[in-house]
Every structure is written in structure tokens, then in C-alpha cells.
Structure 1
Amino acid sequence: MITAKHKDMNKLAYLTVLLLGLLSYNATAQFSITGEVRPRTEFRNGFKTLTDESREASFFTEQRSRLYFNYSDSTFKFKLAFQDIRFWGETPQIFKEEYGKTFISEAWGQYYFSPAFSVKVGRQIISYDNQRFLGGLEWAQQGRRHDALLFLYEKGATKLHTGLAYNQDDDVPEPAFLQGDGAGYYSVGGNYKTFQYAWYNQSFETGSLSLLAFNAGYQNPDTTVSFKQTFGLVASKKLGGLKLAGDFYYQTGELGTSKVNAMLAGINATLATPVTPLTIGVEYISGKDDDDTSSDITNFSPDFGTNHAHNGFMDYFFVGPANGNVGVTDIYLKTSFQVAGGALKAHIHEFMTGSTQLNAEGQELGKTMGTEVDLVYAKKLKGGVVWNLGYSQLFATDTMEALRGGDKSALQCWAWTMITFKPTFFTSK
């Protein structure tokens, strides 16, 4: 008796044989199937905001599982990635249905009109430079993706990318209804209605220079759209054993009825020593003064960046709703050591406010919010498996307690461990 399950397996086997046959016919095509399983166990006690004795620490494991299909030939590239994100134990052992756990992470095609010029369309990662403003957010298990159309020119040391997107609510069933009353309103919270951008990068023998212009449109409740512009410059330069790097971003435009006038500026120097590289730097992100009664938005927002990679791993700033209008000045020292066949990263951050903040009595708070120490150990195991172990601790001040609540004298820490498997199931190479 041939069951439905057997029929499905036969169909899968047939499609696999057919695909392999097509690949063997097209000798220039390359096809691969790869996977990823990445469970991460975390102990949070003061992660993102201060804890106190009334709050219990959290302990959980969150897992990302992915399956990647990649195809390329001389004319186009194609990628399809499925992912499943879940917390251990949230789904029963025996179940008939579950909700929203498995979905498409990436689905895009890239067509090459010439070796230098191509068009890329679909759900994709948009990530540039140090990912300060545009990043893949791959630390988060789900990552960050955009539904967009990109035009790419890449030749030698020169790259020029432009992109655009336009989003519509998924409660609009058919194009015939797009002109209905209220149908143009885009209500997906935290997302843009539309964007257009241009990114230029030039590499040099001893450095690089990138320029970014990004225009984002956000839906207002009255169905109008506000536009905010972000302009950025990222540069690096090597001077012997010293590497200098810096970035500057300025935001302008409007959000609703408020004008935007904000900035981010950072600079760092990395010195190669016989023992370990040392990086020292400072970053200023503007905030809004407590005594500023205007409706202007002066706090900078790194809207689509990989914010976990900046301003400390405990995610007190610009991850989720944390930080409000405070802004931040981050003075940091970073280094890494070779230990037991792996690498130990050590970061120290001194956080100060990026604006003038007042306490409940109207008195100005001190600038210093706290000091964070981050330690991350990474080791490559056999077969390309990577193991990570991390610990972070924040030493908060009265200012941080006044701004965030909680108890600064409590132990504010975060510990985690993660193992990543990335097998290659098949490749036509």
C-alpha cells in the first residue's frame, strides 16, 4: 500500500534527481544545500535594564535552525533560506499545531546584466560597513531582513548600491482593494512604509571610504507619510601598525509633526602589539535634554543596525525600547587574547549620557551611567563547529538607577553559552 507519506517522499526524491540532472547539464551552475543549528542558553540578571531584589533572574535556551539553498551560474544567483526560532519547552512534546515558528528568512534572486551590474530583488539582508546603521542583526536568532529591490554596481575597488522598498499591510487581500478607504494605511509597528538609499564604497590600499544616503518614510495615523533622512560617512586608514577608523551620521527630516536633528560620531584607533591588538575609541550619540521643551527629535536612532555589536553586549542602548531620549557617550577599550586554542575578547565600556538629564526634583544628574565589562571566549571545534562562552557585568551609578529604575547595588550580570553547527549537505562543486 502506497501512503501519502510515501508519495511525498517519492516526489522529493524525483525533484532532487531532476535538479541534479539539470545541474550536471549546466556545467557552469553551482548549487549547495547547507544548514545551521544554533542553540543559545542565557542567564539574565540585569540584562537591558537594572534588576532588583523583587525580580528573579531568567534562564532559558533559544534555538535557531536554518536550511539554506544557494544556486548560481553566469547569469544569476538565487537564495532561499528557511528558519525556525523557538525557546526550548514552549512547544509540547506531542502537538498537532503550532504558531508562527517556521518561516522564510531569505528569498531573493540576483540577475547580472554584466559582471559589474546586477539587480537583486526579494527578502534579503542589507548590511554595510560596521553595521552601525544598516546591519543583518545576526546576533538575534531571527536576524533582520528587508523586502526590497537593489541595483548593484561593483567593479574592482568601487561599489555603488541603490535600493528601494514599499510596504503594504498584509490585511489587504487583493490589489483591487488597494484604493479602498483606509487601505493605504501601513500599521506594522516599528517598520517603515518605504525607503530609498544609495551607498558608495571605495577601497584603497591602506583604507576605505563609504558614503550613505538613506530616506525612510513612516506612516502617520492620518495616512500621510513622514520622511526622515540619514546621511553617513565611514572611513578607515592604516598607518603602519596603527589603524584609524571613524564614522559620522546625521539625521534630519520629520517624524509626524516633529523635526529631526540628531547625530552620531565615533572614532577609534587599533594598535597591533606583539601580544594582542588594542583598540581605544569613543562614540557620541546625541540625546534630548530634559529641559528641552521643543517637539524636535534630537536623539539619534541607529534604526536598522546591528546594535548588539556596539555600546556593550548587555544591550542597554538602542536594542528594543531601552534608552529613550538619553543618548550615550561610550568610551571603550577592546582587546583579544589567544587562550587554550581559542580567542578571548575583553571589552570595557564607560557609559555617559548623551544629553542633560534631570532627577525628580529637577536637579541635573551626573553624566556617568556606569561601567560594563564584556568577556567572550570563542573556540572552533572539529568539523567547523564553533563554541562561544560569554559573561558581562555592569557597574551602574545613581544616574543609571534614576533613569532606569532598579537597584544599582544589585548584581547586574549576563552569562551565556552558544554552539553553532553549520554542515554542508550537498554542493555541486
Structure 2
Amino acid sequence: MALHSPFKSLAQLSLGAQLRTRSELRDGQGAPLPEGTKPAFFTSQRTRLNAGFTGYRFKVGLSVQDVRVWGQDASTVNRTTTQDNNGLMVHEAWAEVMLTDTTLKNKTFSIKLGRQELLYDDSRLLGNLDWLQQGRRHDAALLKYEANSWMLHLGGAFNQNKELSSGTVYNPTPPGNYPANTNGGAMYKSMEFFYAGKKFEKGNASFLFLSDQFSKYHSDNSVKTWETGAWTRFTTGFFFTNTFNKTTLTASAYYQGGKNAVGQKLNAALLTANAMFALNKTFSIGPGVDYTTGGTSGSTSKAFDPLYGTPHKFWGLMDYYYAASGFGGHGLQDFYIKSKLKATGKLLLAADVHQFLSASDVTSSNNVSYSRNFGTEADVVATYNLTKVISFEAGYSHYWSTASLVSETVKNVANAKSNSNWAYLMINIKPDFILK
């Protein structure tokens, strides 16, 4: 007599892989180069193996990746991985337990534990930063309640460098002085957030409240000594997107307060709005504006930090703003026009133009004033899907910079080139299959 268990009937194994190479020509990517500086050229590679297992009232996910630049290892040497060189790492390793019976299809209540991506709305504040070869992940716990078109998520993380016998002092600076996040800031010691979202037929709206804490410290001769306790920052606001007939409208507004990672009081905001008009089945175009506050008011910082999102998606593909290369906390005004053309069933073309300005006054240490104009960027990207598994992507960007952009308190580049270029070719191979 055969025995059939509900676990066996529901069990499902998924396997996947990704090999993504990206060759880049950098002649001022991130910041303008000084005159006479040679452009850089290299190829980076992400290799990922993904596995997932679903059973009765649980799911498990695992993603292991190796990220490196071609040639950074001597062909006969097995090096020791450092964070500066990325290398082999666990990108995700999580388990999700269904706290209610999984036969209730329109309602779920679960808890997800472990290393995981946090991906919400348009990825502006919480995203997986997939453009970066190593991506972004969090060691966190996530309580999820989803019913019909509503979703309520409550998440939290508490970071420590190692197992301790006493205390909870946390050093957020990885070895090699490597930035802990893409904004070049310190890694949070702890983080909590509440997300409430409502799905529409062609869009969604959401509310976010996120609080992150940063280790307190004191400095002696520029050497930081980490202390007990933490400074707390909070970010809260709303997001909305929906398609009305042939027009897609997106807007968001967030406020940031508390204290930042250096213990400075915060009073900052982010405002965004954009529209995309589908002129026909193949072409869409639309304007937009982003505004982040910046500068200081007395001892209070007005510089908004876009948390743990995907800046590459929003503020120009050359990553001049809110990426690894800082711009002095001046805040940003970004007026842009974006367009997309579906040339064929397999070829997609995109072209964007950005006009960037500072959101606060730009002055040097000896009180020389500059224009708020940071310059103009043009981005062109072509994506060709050879098959469902294989795709090619090529892009070119050009930046026309100003004296304000390269000034002492912004990018601080002496004798800078006024024109910067960046080009890339990316090949993405991503097979996956499911076993039942």
C-alpha cells in the first residue's frame, strides 16, 4: 500500500544560475577625471548559483555568488577573499515559515529569517541594488501578513561583528576601509521598519516607517573609538504609482529626522514626481523631477540619505549622486526626461536626459560662491533578449560638468575634464528550472 504525505505532494525544488559579465570603459564614471588622466577599462563578472525548496508551510532560499574582475587573481594563486575584492560570498540564505495554513490562498501570515534582499516599491529606499555585481542584502527577520490586495510587513535587524561574551559594541567599518553601503556611509547597528502596501489593478500605494541606529563613537587624532549606545535616525513617508489610460504617474514624499551616523541632528526630505505617456504600443516618454534637501541649518543637517535603495536607477547611470562617490551633502535637484522604445519583440531602447542642480548653496572653504548647476547627463541603453535565458545590454553615458560640480566642497577634482564618458557591454545568462 502506497503512502502519500501532504509534504511530498507540495514539495518543490527550484534551481538556477547566473553568469553576468560587464565590460566597462570609464572616463569619468562616478566623478570627472583630472585632465591628462587615462580612461579605465576592465571586465567584472558575477557568478551565482540559486536554490529554493518549498514544502508544507515552509520555504528555503539560498544564493551563493562569486564576484571578481577578470585577472585580479594570478592564474596559479588561490587568494584569500577580502571585502575590497568581493569574491565568494553567500548572497542569500533564508527560511520562511507559514504561520497559517497554506491552503488559505488569499491570506498568508509568515516569518522570514536570515540573509535576504529587501525590495519594496520602485527600490528607491529599499532595493537589492542588482546593478552592483555583488548586490545588496540584509541579515534580518521579516514578519509578513498579506491578504487580498493588502500587505503588512514588519522587519528588523541587529548587527554584531562576532559572538561576544559581554556588551554589544559594533564596529561598522569593514576591513580595508571599504564603504559599508553604496552611499559611502557606515553600516547600521540595528534597523526596524514597518511597511503597509495596497495593490491596485495597475499600480500600488504604500506607507513606510524605517528606523536605523548607528554606533556612537569618539575621535582621537582622527582615530575612531566605537562606544556603547547608538544614534537613531528615522525615515517615513508615502509612495504612489498607477496607470490611468495611457499615462503612468508616480510620486513619493519622505521625511528624515533624528540623528545621522555622525550624531548630527537631521531635518531632511525627499520629493519625487514623474509621468510616462504611452504614445503608442512601442514608444513612451515623460518628464520627472526629484528633490532631496541638503546643506545645513545651524548644527542641523538637511542632507537626505536614500537609505538602502538603488541610486543607479534614478540619478543618472554614471552614478555621480548617492552612490560610492559623494558630493558633499548638498542635496540634489534632478529634472529629467526619460523615453523607451520597443523597437522589436526582442530589442528595447531607452534614452534619458538629466539636468542636475544643487539643492543648497555651493561655496568653498574661503567663501567663494559657485552656481548651483552641477551639469547635464545623457544616457542611452539598448537591451536585446536573444532568448529567455540570454540577454545583451549596451549603454553609453556622457556628462557635461561645471565648475560647481568639481569644486572643493562637492567632487573636489582639481583641473577636471569638462566632458566625461562611460560605456559598457553586459552579457547576462540566467537559466533556471523547477523540479516537482
Instruction: Please give the range of the TM-score, normalised by the shorter of the 2 chains.
Output: 0.7 to 0.9
State the shift of 1:26 in Å.
1.0
Q: Which has the larger radius of gyration?
A: 1
> Where does 1:310-321 land on structure 2 (aligned, <5 Å)?
310-321=314-325
Question: Take 2:391 and 2:263, find their aligned partners in 1: how far apart are those partners?
Answer: 49
1:277 counterpart = 2:284: yes
- SS of equivalent residue, structure 1 residue 324: coil
Question: Take 1:261 and 1:363, find their aligned partners in 2: how far apart are those partners?
Answer: 26
Question: Take 1:194 and 1:409, find their aligned partners in 2: how far apart are those partners?
Answer: 41
State the shift of 1:97 in Å.
4.1
State the shift of 1:383 in Å.
5.0
Change (3 A) 1:394 1:428: same
Q: Which residue, 39, 54, 65 being the options, matches 1:72?
A: 54
User: Residue 331 of structure 1 corresponds to which residue in structure 2?
Assistant: 335
Amino acid at match of 1:106: E
Kept in 2, the 8 Å contact 1:375–1:392? The answer is yes
Q: Which residue, 155, 164, 168 being the options, matches 1:184?
A: 168
1:415 counterpart = 2:423: yes
Question: Take 1:95 and 1:325, find their aligned partners in 2: how far apart are those partners?
Answer: 42
User: Quick check: which one's helix share is greater?
Assistant: 1
> What TM-score do you get using the length of structure 2 for normalisation?
0.87
Question: Take 2:169 and 2:304, find their aligned partners in 1: how far apart are those partners?
Answer: 26
1:376 counterpart = 2:381: yes
Kept in 1, the 8 Å contact 2:396–2:422? The answer is yes
Change (3 A) 1:97 1:254: closer
State the shift of 1:95 in Å.
2.2
Deviations 1:195-249 (A, max 9, x none): 1110000122354210000011111123221110000210123332222110111
Q: Which residue, 251, 269, 273 being the options, matches 1:267?
A: 273
User: Residue 195 of structure 2 corresponds to which residue in structure 1?
Assistant: 199
Question: Take 1:152 and 1:58, find their aligned partners in 2: how far apart are those partners?
Answer: 45
> Where does 1:49-68 land on structure 2 (aligned, <5 Å)?
49-68=31-50
1:230 counterpart = 2:235: yes
User: Residue 95 of structure 2 corresponds to which residue in structure 1?
Assistant: 109
State the shift of 1:368 in Å.
1.3
Question: Take 1:97 and 1:32, find their aligned partners in 2: how far apart are those partners?
Answer: 32
Question: Take 1:371 and 1:164, find their aligned partners in 2: how far apart are those partners?
Answer: 39
- Identity over aligned residues, as a percent? 31
Question: Take 1:252 and 1:321, find their aligned partners in 2: how far apart are those partners?
Answer: 23
- SS of equivalent residue, structure 2 residue 64: strand
Kept in 2, the 8 Å contact 1:397–1:408? The answer is no
**Count of residue pairs brought into register by the alignment:** 396
User: Residue 353 of structure 1 corresponds to which residue in structure 2?
Assistant: 358
Amino acid at match of 2:111: V
Question: Take 1:401 and 1:25, find their aligned partners in 2: how far apart are those partners?
Answer: 61
Question: Take 1:103 and 1:326, find their aligned partners in 2: how far apart are those partners?
Answer: 35
Question: Take 1:211 and 1:375, find their aligned partners in 2: how far apart are those partners?
Answer: 33
> Where does 1:88-167 land on structure 2 (aligned, <5 Å)?
88-100=70-82, 101-114=87-100, 115=102, 116-167=108-159
Deviations 1:309-339 (A, max 9, x none): 1110000001014112111100010001133
State the shift of 1:410 in Å.
4.1
Change (3 A) 1:98 1:349: same
Question: Take 1:25 and 1:312, find their aligned partners in 2: how far apart are those partners?
Answer: 48
Kept in 1, the 8 Å contact 2:35–2:416? The answer is no
Note the residue ranges of structure 1 that are not aligned, 5 or more in a row: 1-21
User: Quick check: which one's strand share is greater?
Assistant: 2
Question: Take 1:26 and 1:248, find their aligned partners in 2: how far apart are those partners?
Answer: 47
Question: Take 2:392 and 2:398, find their aligned partners in 1: how far apart are those partners?
Answer: 21
> What TM-score do you get using the length of structure 1 for normalisation?
0.88
Amino acid at match of 1:356: D
1:297 counterpart = 2:301: yes
Note the residue ranges of structure 2 that are not aligned, 5 or more in a row: 103-107, 174-185, 218-226
- SS of equivalent residue, structure 2 residue 239: strand
Q: Which residue, 234, 258, 277 being the options, matches 2:264?
A: 258
State the shift of 1:93 in Å.
1.4
